[in-house]
Amino acid sequence: MSDIRIAVIVGSTRPGRKSKDVADWVIAQAQGREGVVYELVDLADYPLPHLDEPLPAAFGQYAGEHTKAWAEKIASYDGFVFVTPEYNHSTSGVLKNALDYLYNEWNNKAAAFVGYGAVGGARAVEHLRAIASELQIAHVRQSLAFNGFTDFENFTTFAPAEIHETFAATMFDQLETWARAMQSVRAEQVLAA
């Protein structure tokens, strides 16, 4: 069986963002895991305007070249780690927008969540779980929650507590198991079509 591919999605494009630092840490923790490739996908590299597609994403009839490029990228993965800040008790607008652009490309894949903020991004992650369910993304229980008070020096430099390494390993185990299982689901759907 070929390696599964997991995108670690940087969920903020804001100047001074911490998402990239957190996502880089996630990628570093995933190094050396067998049978899986983790790749960074930075929303800053996929500038999507506010949703501008004339048809609902479920139709899969994309008009914009930016949408087609985003769809091609996301379709190539078996699962995702969404790295999100918490803005106003929710996820970032740019991540929600990126999710809304597509539908079928997200379906029957697996996801895990990594949040950060004053309360570890917990409320952002809870909102993302509801969105993922609607997109037919199987999300795993274990998430990571980095607290702005304890996992960042002076609220700026990412310096996570060592305990997060253990939680990350559990998250990866769950995510990889579900990503492999969802490959089978997608294969069965192709055969049934």
Q: Where are the domains of the chain?
A: 4-192
| pLDDT value of position 192 | 74
Tens digits of per-residue pLDDT, 165-193?
Answer: 999 999 999 999 999 999 999 988 777 76
DSSP 43: G
Q: Where are the beta strands (DSSP E) in 14-164?
A: 36-42, 79-85, 109-117, 137-139, 144-147, 152-153, 157-158
| pLDDT value of position 189 | 79
- Rounded distance, CA 190 to CA 151, Å? 44
Tens digits of per-residue pLDDT, 123-168?
Answer: 999 999 999 999 999 999 999 999 999 999 988 999 999 999 999 9
Exposure class string for 99-111: b at 16+ Cβ within 10 A, else e: bbbbbebbbbbbb
Tokens at residue 152, please? 């960042």
Tens digits of per-residue pLDDT, 59-111?
Answer: 999 999 999 999 999 999 999 999 999 999 999 999 999 999 999 999 999 99
Torsion of the alpha carbons at 123, 124, 129 and 132, rounded to the nearest 10: 160
Enter the CATH code of domain 4-192.
3.40.50.360
Its pTM surpasses 0.75: yes
The whole-number average pLDDT for the span 120-125 is: 97
| pLDDT value of position 2 | 78
| pLDDT value of position 193 | 67
| pLDDT value of position 1 | 58
- Rounded distance, CA 96 to CA 84, Å? 10
